[in-house]
Amino acid sequence: MFSIEVNHIFKTYGTRPAVDDVSFDVNQGEIFGLIGPNGAGKTTTIRMMMDIIKPDSGDIKIMGEKLNDNSKNKIGYLPEERGLYKKMSVMDTIIYFASLKGVDSQLARQRGEELLKRADLLPHQNKRIEELSRGMSQIIQVIITVIHEPDLIILDEPFSGLDPVNTQLLKDLIRDLKNKGKTIIMSTHLMNDIEELCDRLLMINKGRAVLYGSLAEVKANYRNNAVLVETTGALGTIEGVLEQRPHNGAVELKLDAKTTPQMLLERLVQKGIVVNRFELSTPSLTEIFIKVAGNEHE
């Protein structure tokens, strides 16, 4: 069963289409990336999934049915716009939001303590939200998102504003949740996060779906005929190489259509060049995105 099925949704604000015929499915137990530049329609899509705004047309099924009170309790949602009641204490905040998801206060306190401990925030549990740093309150929000142990977790730009330590903490948490069989959808404009975590992805640009599939598929489709090599000594000119480009301490070699990476390796060996590293160069999502968005533009 799909965790989420989105069928041909449209949403227009004024005359500008914010989401324009987007469809996708999310499998149970996977990390699904929703990527695209700022203003692409990611948040609007998520808000429609959460039934916070209604699509103009199209339909969305969550866990096989339309979103209802019961299924709302099985979803954890971290909105892009962050905020909490400033005057409430950390623990009261956690308990209150947990109660709105149907968790009784005793259980919420117990889970809250565990999660706070994990994030090293337990000593702050009686502080008011306004006394916390921005990063800390963002972690509290993540805790609120998962306190009711939802089956489906939707994170809108989860890493924005986090320092490296908290980013790592959150990444570990996301992997943990996946290992527990939870489905996770995260939106981001930072492609690196997706490359590291996601199984499948949907890329939207200007409200339209432009790429959809597993990370490996997407990358394979956009593979360019190039290799990364690290050698001792200079390379010189090599037959079949169109272009040499330094790339993170190595050199990226673009090959012409007649040359395969295997042929290049043989040529390097024949020339007596010591090869320390030899790998197929796959484009980063950023490069793919720029390519796709660029094509769209034309």
Partner 1 sequence: MNKTLLLIKHEFLNTVRRKAFIILTLAFPLIALLAILAGQVLPGVIKTTTTIEKIGYVDQVGLFTQNTTGNNIQLIPYTTEAAAKTALEQKVVAEYFVIPANYISTGSIQIYTLTSEIAPSATVQSGISDFLMNNLLKGNSTEIIARAKNPLNITSTTLTASGEPAAKQGGFSAFILPYLFSVLLMLAIFTSSGYLLQGLGEEKENRVMEILLSSISPRQLLSGKVLGLGAAGLVQIVVWLISANFLLRMASASWGSVLGSLQITPEFLILGIVYFILGYLIMAILMAGVGSISPTARESQQLSVIFIMPVIIPIYFMPLIMENSENIVVKILTFFPLTAPITVMVRSGLSEIPLWELAVSIGILILSVWGLFILTTKLFRTYLLMYGKRPDFNEIVRSFRES
Min separation Cβ 71 and partner 1, Å: 11
- Tokens encoding 126: 């009686």
Q: Judged by CB under 8 A, does residue 72 bind partner 1?
A: yes
Nearest to 285 by CA among 172, 201, 159, 178: 201
The H-assigned helical ranges of 119-190 are 134-146, 164-179
Nearer Cβ to partner 1, position 93 or 205?
93
Q: Which of 58, 79, 213, 240 binds partner 1 (CB under 8 A)?
A: 79
Please identify, among the stretches 92-100, 177-185, 200-208, 224-232, the one whose residues bind partner 1 according to the rule CB under 8 A: 92-100
Residues 142 and 170 sit within 8 Å (Cβ to Cβ): yes
Min separation Cβ 44 and partner 1, Å: 10
| Beta bridge pairs of residue 35 | 188, 203
Min separation Cβ 70 and partner 1, Å: 12
Q: Which of 9, 34, 40, 84 binds partner 1 (CB under 8 A)?
A: 84
Tell me which H or E stretch contains 199: none
Q: Judged by CB under 8 A, does residue 128 bind partner 1?
A: no
Min separation Cβ 56 and partner 1, Å: 10
In our burial notation (b when 16+ CB lie closer than 10 A, e otherwise), range 95-118 reads bebbeebebeeeebbebbeebbee
The H-assigned helical ranges of 53-205 are 69-72, 90-100, 105-118, 134-146, 164-179, 191-197
Min separation Cβ 21 and partner 1, Å: 20
User: Site residues for partner 1, window 130-159 (CB under 8 A)?
Assistant: 141, 144
User: Site residues for partner 1, window 96-115 (CB under 8 A)?
Assistant: 96-97, 99-102
For the chain, state the CA radius of gyration: 23
Residues 291 and 221 sit within 8 Å (Cβ to Cβ): no
135 class by beta-carbon count within 10 Å (0-12 exposed, 13-18 middle, 19+ buried): middle
Query: What is the Cα–Cα distance from 254 to 119, expressed in whole angstroms?
Result: 45
Please identify, among the stretches 31-39, 68-76, 205-213, 255-263, the one whose residues bind partner 1 according to the rule CB under 8 A: 68-76
Min separation Cβ 144 and partner 1, Å: 7
Q: Judged by CB under 8 A, does residue 63 bind partner 1?
A: no
Q: Judged by CB under 8 A, does residue 54 bind partner 1?
A: yes
Name the site residues for partner 1 (rule: CB under 8 A). Answer: 47, 50, 52-54, 69, 72-73, 75, 77, 79, 81-86, 96-97, 99-102, 141, 144
